[in-house]
Structure 1
Amino acid sequence: MNTVLVTGASAGFGEAICRKLIADGYKVIGAARREDKLKSLATELGDNFLPLQFDVTQKDAVDNILATLPIGFQQIDILINNAGLALGIEPAYEADYTDWETMVQTNIIGMMHLTRTILPGMVERNFGYIINLGSIAGTYPYRGGNVYGATKAFVKQFSANLRTDLFGKKIRVTNVEPGLCGGTEFSNVRFHGDNAKANDVYKNVQYITAEDIANTISWLVNTPPHMNVNSIEIMPIAQAPAGLNVSKEM
């Protein structure tokens, strides 16, 4: 039975991924900052789910916790780097610089550290799978996406370079790039708790859901081991790249 580590497990994509992979028969380590949410999930999911309370930006704490995993959960076969966030939608010249730093620390540094910590064990065993949660924002720029989009472009290129470094080894790497996804806390966090503004993003739109992403992850981890999906871009039918805009008579 393979063991999966999912970060950002207390809500949204991470919570849905944990539920789906437990149902698929995996052992799942769910890591997140909010201990109460993890405990509730552990009660629901049973003994094959191990809750770990940590913040991916706190490297020493992460190392200490991973070094003391209980027997049965010590060998991590699949790492799902899901923890991440967007903060603010202001243009670059009005953005809060602290928000920028938080996004870089979480979306880039936290992902890098966990990958560098867990990957050597996969290489030693010549077996493993790293799935990074990117975003279409890493490909298509939009107003106010500035640093968030840049962090997801990093995730995209980091994933591609991991595949290159791991060439010749039986370790898979996939970058999952969701588009507009509702029913999560993503926009509530982005708008710093302004729920009305967050709800407006999804009004009258049939968006993709966290369960759609969880089902995609389930499909990925259950594909044949000789097969690697380098990246997968997922949008609702209601969303598409809008093409190039032209502003006349500026």
Structure 2
Amino acid sequence: MSTETELQSPVAEFLGTLVLVFFAVGASVLSGEYIGTLGIALAFGFTLLVLAYVIGPVSGSHVNPAVTLGMLVAKRLDLPTAIRYWVAQLAGAIAGAALLFLVAKQVPGLKISETFGSNGFGDRSAVRINLGGAFIVELLLTALLVYVFLSVTHKVTVAGFAGLPIGTVLAVVSLIGIPLTGASVNPARSLGPAIFAGGAALTQLWLFLVAPLVGAVLAAAVHRVTHPATPAQPNRHPEPSGAPVR
């Protein structure tokens, strides 16, 4: 990987994760009362869809440490690149949450203490799902997200129409997960808001870091079975960029 690419990709991941947290989590923090679960889920899906086309050709538009882990396990990234992605994603999420916190503080009467778009279980869940249920939900929803990502992308970058299923699946898992846990499926997305929410959001944060990563490993393992790698056949109708890996 060239020095230029080594810089471009992490910067793209930093900016992409910042945008995802500020706008998608911001939809929950600032507008959730007016747009409801459907509106928040669409905000996440549409934001990722846009990012897939804007930074997908640069970094793959992971904006999610779980997706990057899935790509690493699937051997589409090396470890040094994955580490650069993780650092950029976590930093971007914290920066996005900081900007969102700054905006939220300007809204009179807006209560953000111990909520602020953070994830949770028990009395912090809309349906009061327990710890075990929350872990399973986050694991399965993340596994679906990462599985779709691996299935529709080619190598590292996103091209062609791959952004459509990626954005759609995030909207779908958000629709399911928001009433249960707030729908993390992304350790960076959970970390940023939790830092500013404080309290129980931080004590429960471990689940939303661990479960998505376990789900990513599961997705990569299943993808390897359903989409086994085939030997390259040079000079025979090469697969177009952006087509699913078979």
The TM-score, its normalising length taken from structure 1, stands at 0.30
Q: Higher relative contact order by CA 8 Å / sep ≥ 6: 1 or 2? A: 2
Q: Which has the higher helix share?
A: 2
